[in-house]
Chains A and B, each alone.
Chain A
Amino acid sequence: DIQMTQSPSAMSASVGDRVTITCRASQGISHYLAWFQQKPGKVPKRLIYTASSLQDGVPSRFSGSGSGTEFTLTITSLQPDDFATYYCLQYYNYPYSFGQGTKLEIK
């Protein structure tokens, strides 16, 4: 089974900052990776799919990159609405697996 490891597990940043979250796969998954945002008490929302494709309606300050085993989610110019927990998901093969999450808090 493929293990997904996110780093950091938590971080704090300020409005306007540029933030990068990393997700590493225990084996190569090509570009079969998605990123999700979840706010407290809310349903997860997909931001990025196939590693770098932006979901319709998601602001362009969100971007994804990577392939193989290392992936990044970048948020440029953080907005107050962006403070949330972020998860990666590999869908290269079953069982699908999520990273453990990265909690992004306001500094």
Chain B
Amino acid sequence: EVQLVESGGGLVEPGGSLRLSCVASGFTFTSYTMNWVRQAPGKGLEWVSSISYRRVGTYINYADSVKGRFTISRDNAQKSLHLQMNSLTAEDTAVYYCVRGAEEAAGDSWGQGTLVTVSS
């Protein structure tokens, strides 16, 4: 059974930083692109970032709203996905989901999410 378990959310002041993690199990982690998707309270879904893994290298993409502030990474040995979030603002307040897949597998499995609240 595919499992994605996020951690690291919490309350942070504007301008602060937070690091989210997601531990994966039940599938071959290196075979999948991994993503972060967020959902602000009462709002829709927003794709945040993706990281793929190929023998020739790692490919990373970001939404314009987080580019330059967020950094996605993965540790294939630990089967984990991370999101380093810097210079946080109130607009970053959301539930952050760890989501498996790209192309045909895009969004086929989701974690339960971790809540990030940016407030003074």
Contacts and interface: CB of A to CB of B under 8 A. Distances in A.
Interface residues of B, number: 22
Given A36-B45, A94-B50, A98-B47, A43 B103 contact: no
A39 to B, nearest CB: 13
Contacts of A59: none
Interface residues of A, number: 24
A81 B104 CA distance: 26
Nearest to B113: A43
A55 B111 CA distance: 17
Contact of B47 (A38, A49, A97): A97
A80 interface: no
B110 interface: yes
A95 B108 contact: no
A50 interface: yes
A98 B46 contact: yes
B47 to A, nearest CB: 4
23 contacts: A1-B64, A34-B107, A36-B45, A43-B97, A43-B112, A46-B107, A49-B105, A49-B106, A49-B107, A49-B108, A87-B44, A87-B45, A89-B45, A89-B107, A91-B103, A95-B47, A95-B62, A95-B63, A95-B64, A96-B35, A96-B50, A101-B44, A101-B45
Interface of A: 1, 32, 34, 36, 38, 43-46, 49-50, 53, 55, 87, 89, 91, 94-101
